[in-house]
Structure formats: C-alpha cells, structure tokens
Amino acid sequence: MAHSPFELARTRVTLFEALLRARDAKGGKHPILEDHERKVLSYDDIVRGAFALGGKIESLIRKSETAGILLPTGAGCTVVFFACHAAGRTPAMLNFTAGAMNLKAACQAANVRKILTSRRFIQMARLEALEAELSKFATLIYLEDVREKVDFGDKIVALVKSFFPRVFAAKANPDDTGVILFTSGSYGTPKGAVLSHSNIVANVEQAHAHIPFDPKWSFFCPLPMFHCFGLTGGVLLPIFTGHKTFLFPSPLQVKEIPKLIKDTGANVFFATDTFAQQYARNAADGDLSSIEIMVCGAERVKDETRELYKRRFDIEILEGYGATEASPVIAVNAPLHNKHGTVGQFLPGLEWRLEPVPGIDGGQKLYVRGPNVMRGYLDPTKPFGIDLLPDGWHDTGDVVDVDADGYVTILGRVKRFAKIGGEMVSLNAVESYAAHVWPDNLHAAVALPDSRKGERIILFTDRVDASTDALQAWCREHGASELAAPKRIVAIDSIPVLGSGKTDYVVLQRMAAERFAEAKAA
C-alpha cells in the first residue's frame, strides 16, 4: 500500500462538499455509516437526511446564531452535523460531561442560544439535571419533535435536493467556520477553537497521505464527537475517504466494545491508552484480531499497553499526538515507521518550530502552522469574535524533542512541570516512574505551592498500598532525580477522567489543595 500524496488543492472545499465528493467517488448507495442501533446508512441516506433535517433547522435557528449539538457519537449526531451545514448554520459540539458551568460559558462564548439534543439520549445518559440547567439559558430543540414535523412533502423536497445537492446546499467558503470545538479542559477552563471547513478537510487529507489505509478497511469509533479525535479521526476521515465506520456512543463500555469489534470485523481503531488497557483486559482471545491499524492519542502510550496488544492480539499500537487547535492530528507513527516512545513524524504540509523554555533542558516548546491549524480561539467579549493566531502560529504549550529523523517525543506540557528547589521536574515523568513501579494501576501527579522549595508534588493513585519508599527506591535504582519522587502519595478509588479519556487534572488539583489545606489547618 503506497502513501497517497498530500495535495493542498484538495483541502479547499467545505465539509458538505467533501461529503458530496466522497459520494461521487464511491457511489450514493455505498454503505458508509453504522452505529449501535445497527442501522446502516449510505451516502445518499446521509445527504437526504441532512436536507430533510436542515430544512427544519433553518427555520428554528437563526443565521446569526451558532447551532449547539449535544448528542452522543452515532448516526443521528452525524446527520445533524451535516444538516447544519446544508442549512448554512455553524455547529458547536458541546461536551455533555463538562458540567453546567463550563457548558454555560461555552454557549455564551460561541453565541449558542439553541441546542439540538434528544430526549432519549438525556434519559439514557441520566442528564436530566444538566438539561434543567441548560434550559435556563438556551432553548433545547429535541430531535424527536423535529422528526415528527418532517412530513411526506418534506421528504420529497429532501429527495429532490439530494439529486442536485450543490444547487440547494447553503453556500459557504472553505475558510468560513466549519465547527467550534472546545479544548478538553484537562488543565483549566475549556477554550473554543474555531476550525474552518478547510482546516478539518486538510487534516483528513494529511492523515490519509501519512498512513496508508487499505480501501477495503472499515473503522470503529467509540470516541465522543465533541472531541476532535472522535469527530475528525473516527467520523469525518472514514466518511470523506470512503471507509465504512461503526460509531459507538461511549468509550466506557469496555466489555461491549471488544465484542462489537469482532462482530463488525473493523480494521482501524482509535483509542486512548487508558481505554485501550481496559478493552484488552475485557477482550476474549480473537476479539480484536481484525484490527490492522490501532492509533492511540490524547495521552502517553505505556510500554505495558504496547506489550499487551502485541502479545495477545499481534497488534502494533501507533502512538500519535494532536491538539483540538490542529483539527487535531499533528504527528503520528505509521505502520512501517513506528518508533516506540515517540508520537511519530509531523504530518505533511505542517510547519513547525521550537523555542527554548527557561529552566527546562532537553526539550523546547513547539509551535505549529499549517492548513489544519485553527483560525483562532473564540473571543467571548464580542459575538462571533475570534482572537486570530499571530501569523498563523499556534503555541501548543507542549515541550518536545525532535530527533534527526523527524520523530517527535513529548516531554510534557509547560504547565506540567513543577519548580522544586530551583529545578524543573516533569510531572509526566513522575507518573511514568509510578507506572513502572505499579504497572497495573493508574497514577496522576499535580504540584502545590511550597513555602520552602517553591512547589511540591502530590501523586494520586488507585493503588491502595502505594508507598513513597517504593517509588523513591525505584528512582535511586534507575538514576532518576530524587526531586521527582513525591513526598506525598494519595490512594483514591479511581483517577477522574474527562469525557475524552484524559486525566482530569482540574479536579485533582482541587482535591490536593483541599486535602492539604485541611492537613495544614489541623
């Protein structure tokens, strides 16, 4: 399988045009989408559904408003996404795990006054309390009600429009806002990333040029569509390149997912390290044997996870790296170019530069610019205001090392370094040391202010008998800095994670501050 060349010209289209281009290439009847309801949709079904629903969205949501989408990963969410584009409305994907406060801030920043959702989803996900909070500042539009109003006449109109989609779809420019996504908020309040149509299409084209996908392969995606990895990688990449994708509403169903992968015979699978470990533990032999390419992102892939997949399923995990601001993929390993411990080489068409960070040796801060890099962040002080990137460069906030062959190693975020006794210590490294001592458990490190040493490290773990002595002994034995051995280890039932699968450091930081403030007071 040869790599496809990356052609910048192919990125200069809207998201709806990219859908139509794929339909033209594969044929309208080509089955492209399936979800847990086990109903298969063709390209024609998606286009017809987008026009039928888009006709209603046009009358319900003003052009001056952004359309909020609060739905799980699935065929319904995909059709709603394209319906917004058919109607000329910009979708903002809302994270239903973010809590009412963050969602209110997101809606205000993105000018969302109407939210497209589903009663059935709210009931099944037990989001009634969130629904009540959201309805205080936005109008909730339930898809069940909208579908009831789609009559025979609407269906005939949608059918006619689907024959001449380029005539009837709302006109847009590739540089217009294609979607608003919110950063994961692992380290603070989520920010609204404004991605153009061309940004997303470019990232699909870059990934497709970088990793050779067999035309016959199908995808399996359990990642949320409010997360860029799920939206671009799991949904739009396969649809735009003609690979059938199976969408599952939650990555948390760790017993169900391995069985479904076996059942669907999926060949391409995206996950995070945390979820990947759980799928492997719950999979029977042979459940994952159809997987040809498995890409893990959003967090570091542990050696144990890599070895487990190789040993049990003969799967070589490809580690990648991205950011919502880059639509999201920045670098990823490829099947014949897989360097363990790195996140692979940069995607084609992406520019990058490194700048030193005072106090941090061995790595520099990464800046990226390219066709997939966002226009800017939402400026909440003015409606539709965008804080544009200076000269198009995005400061990733990540400290990286790039070797002579162009492989990128992530050393940590600038925010994920603690200054102890004048030295910078990587909190990611602390977690990695704990993972070597207790490989079957999850660990997360945060830093608190310390009057004597500047900062001190608190390690949270779900290992009940974890001790500072064992970790310090490992650090001494392996030549790791003693400053990296935390003086406090806190055992908790489970490490809190965000809907994307990333560790929720905001919650842990708060827990550490409360716990040790109380200890001080006592």
Confidence (pLDDT) at 4? 66
Q: Is the pLDDT of residue 492 over 50?
A: yes
Higher pLDDT among residues 348 and 97, named by residue: 348
Q: What pLDDT sits at residue 199?
A: 96
Question: Given this model, what pLDDT does residue 390 score?
Answer: 86
- Cα–Cα distance, 179 to 166 (Å, whole number): 20
Q: What is the pLDDT of residues 472-486, one digit of tens each?
A: 888 777 777 777 778
Stretch (H or E) spanning 504: none
Q: Place domain 8-402 in its CATH homologous superfamily.
A: ANL, N-terminal domain (3.40.50.12780)
Q: Check residue 3 and give its pLDDT.
A: 56
The mean pLDDT value of the chain amounts to 87
Q: Is 145 a residue whose pLDDT tops 60?
A: yes
Q: 415 φ, ψ to 5°?
A: -70, -15
CB 232 within 8 A of CB 412: no
List own/partner pairs for 164-169 with CB under 8 A and 24 or more apart.
Answer: 165/16, 165/20, 165/47, 165/51, 165/86, 166/17, 166/20, 168/51, 168/86, 169/16, 169/20, 169/85, 169/86
The DSSP output letter for 61 is S
> What is the tens place of the pLDDT at every residue in 214-266?
999 999 999 999 989 999 999 999 999 999 999 999 888 899 999 999 999 99
Which helix (H) or strand (E) segment holds residue 430: the answer is helix 427-437
Percentage of residues in the chain with pLDDT exceeding 70?
A: 94
Q: Give the tens place of pLDDT for each residue, 265-295.
A: 999 999 988 889 899 999 998 899 999 999 9
Does the pLDDT of residue 91 top 70, yes or no? yes
Mean pLDDT of 96-114: 87
* Alpha-carbon span 68 to 79, nearest angstrom: 14
* pLDDT of 5 above 90: no
Between 322 and 382, where is the model more confident? 322
The predicted structure's pLDDT at residue 187 = 52
* Maximum mean pLDDT: which of 2-11, 120-129, 455-464, 494-503: 120-129
Query: How many other C-beta atoms lie within 10 A of the C-beta of residue 373?
Result: 26
**How far, rounded to the nearest angstrom, does the alpha carbon of residue 206 sit from its chain's CA centroid?**
17
Does the structure show a pLDDT above 80 at 304? yes
Q: Where in the chain is the domain with CATH 3.30.300.30?
A: 421-521
Higher-pLDDT residue of 497, 182: 182
Write the single-letter amino acid at 308.
L
Range in 284-288, 355-359, 460-464 the model is least confident about: 355-359
- pLDDT of 315 over the 80 cut: yes
pLDDT band at residue 427 using 50, 70 and 90 as cut-offs: confident
Q: What digits encode the pLDDT tens for the residues 20-71?
A: 999 999 999 999 999 998 989 999 999 989 988 888 888 889 988 999 999 9
Q: Quick check: 186 pLDDT over 60? A: no
Instruction: Give CATH 3.40.50.12780 domain extents, the chain.
Output: 8-402
Token duo for residue 208: 């497709």
- What confidence tier does 522 reach under pLDDT thresholds 50, 70, 90? very low
Output the CATH code of domain 421-521. 3.30.300.30
Task: Tally Cβ neighbours within 10 Å of residue 505.
Answer: 23
